Structure 1
């Protein structure tokens, strides 16, 4: 998506989308971009499920901090396990 977002025309092979070589910094940048794109998709006015997401986000925000942290850690560990299967 970053390539499409940043392409302004020009010669093939000369396009610089701003991504760096694979590294820890690139991983952080990719994570930041994934969050950006996911947020744009979820919050798009054409998304028919936006109210479901907003309700869930509001309910999550009302949970005590330790419960939110536990949910996020669980999701992180499940993601790590899923990534090992790929």
Structure 2
């Protein structure tokens, strides 16, 4: 049973999410990751299997499907 580790809610949806990861100072975007999203606060969690798949992707097991250019702002 789901319980959000941020707000304690027990309600969530399964959604596809895009996440940005930093590996050795380089940014990567992984699109459409199946995730559990808290209905109350929006906290995103991944199953261990999905997290492991993303880790492998980012460490060379996959090639990117595309590259994008992003703007960077200093705060």
With structure 1 as the length reference, what TM-score do the two structures score?
A: 0.25
**Structure ranking higher in helix proportion:** 1
More strand by share: 2
TM superposition score normalised by structure 2: 0.27
Instruction: Between the two structures, name the one with larger relative contact order (CA 8 Å, sep ≥ 6).
Output: 2
Task: Report which of the two structures shows the higher radius of gyration computed on alpha carbons.
Answer: 1
